[in-house]
Amino acid sequence: NAGVTQTPKFQVLKTGQSMTLQCAQDMNHNSMYWYRQDPGMGLRLIYYSASEGTTDKGEVPNGYNVSRLNKREFSLRLESAAPSQTSVYFCASLWREATGELFFGEGSRLTVL
Amino acid sequence: AQTVTQSQPEMSVQEAETVTLSCTYDTSESDYYLFWYKQPPSRQMILVIRQEAYKQQNATENRFSVNFQKAAKSFSLKISDSQLGDAAMYFCAYRSASWLGGKLIFGQGTELSVKP
């Protein structure tokens, strides 16, 4: 099925551990995004990649790194997880450049103890 | 910096009734897009409706319509004949037409419950 696939769907980490959230899209979209969703704060942009080989910071990039491995894949890495990074993470790709409509993955729930 | 504000954390509507969700935004730009996304309990984000700022006509998609007031920077969503399946979190979002890559800025969300 075409779409945006995120792995893992759930993860529990201890403070200081590292992990990578994987995202892949099979729709040949150029632009991809990582958002985090927290209660009362909506979705906030962490990083985005307008095209293969480029990445840019969003609103809340501290504590994260990203890699645009190829056109399909855009990963998000937490080098040293903190409790403040407990959140639901969404990967998205840009469906239509002209209008900015995003196609979202199903989300990954991360808990940092 | 552009901001999007949804001042209603929660709303409730009776089945078959009409409800309006509010959204305001702040921008100095004249060309942009506005969106309403729906997030049901499954967590999947679903695009409900889109409005281009240069269009004066309000967008409509079946039971969903918007009231776009550009001068007031207001973008409300009206849901008519509410159904149980409309229960979800609704997010208003803004995108500048000049932003390469189309990043969206989201509001805080409004949790809509539908009573049978």
Q: A64 vs chain B: nearest CA distance in angstroms?
A: 18
Q: What is the pLDDT of residues B48-107, one digit of tens each?
A: 999 999 888 898 889 999 999 999 999 999 999 999 999 999 999 998 887 766 678 999
| Range list of β-strands (E), B15-108 | 19-21, 24-26, 32-39, 46-52, 60-61, 64-69, 74-79, 88-96, 105-106
Q: Which of A102, A106, A107 sits opposite B104 (nearest CB)?
A: A102
Q: What chain B residue is nearest to A91 in terms of C-alpha separation?
A: B45
pLDDT at B8 over 80: yes
Q: Which amino acid, B48?
A: V
Which residues, numbered 93 to 112 in chain B, qualify as contacts with chain A under a Cβ-Cβ cut-off of 8 Å? Answer: 95, 99-109
Q: What chain B residue is nearest to A3 in terms of C-alpha separation?
A: B44
Q: What is the pLDDT of residues B19-36, one digit of tens each?
A: 999 999 999 988 899 999
pLDDT at A97 over 80: no
Side-chain-facing half-sphere of A28: CA atoms under 13 Å = 0
* Span of A97-106, B32-41, B43-52 with lowest mean pLDDT: A97-106
DSSP-derived letter for residue A77 is: E
How many other C-beta atoms lie within 10 A of the C-beta of residue B102? Answer: 24
**pLDDT in the model for residue A83:** 96
pLDDT at B1 over 90: no
Task: Give the mean pLDDT of chain B.
Answer: 92
Report the C-alpha gap between A28 and A37 in whole angstroms: 25
Q: What is the pLDDT of residues A40-88, one digit of tens each?
A: 889 999 999 988 889 999 999 999 999 998 999 999 999 999 999 999 9
User: For residue A75, with 0-12 CB atoms within 10 Å meaning exposed, 13-18 middle and 19 or more buried, which class applies?
Assistant: middle
Selected for mutation to probe chain B from A104, A106, A109 (highest B CB count within 10 Å) is: A104
- The residues near A89 (Cβ < 8 Å, ≥ 6 apart) are A6, A21, A34, A35, A36, A37, A46, A76, A107, A108, A109, A110
CA of B56: how far to CAs of A51, B22, B25, B40, B51, in Å?
A: 32, 18, 17, 30, 9
Q: What is the pLDDT of residues A64-73, one digit of tens each?
A: 999 998 999 9
φ/ψ of A25, rounded to 5, equals: -125, 145
A45/B104 CB distance under 8 A: yes
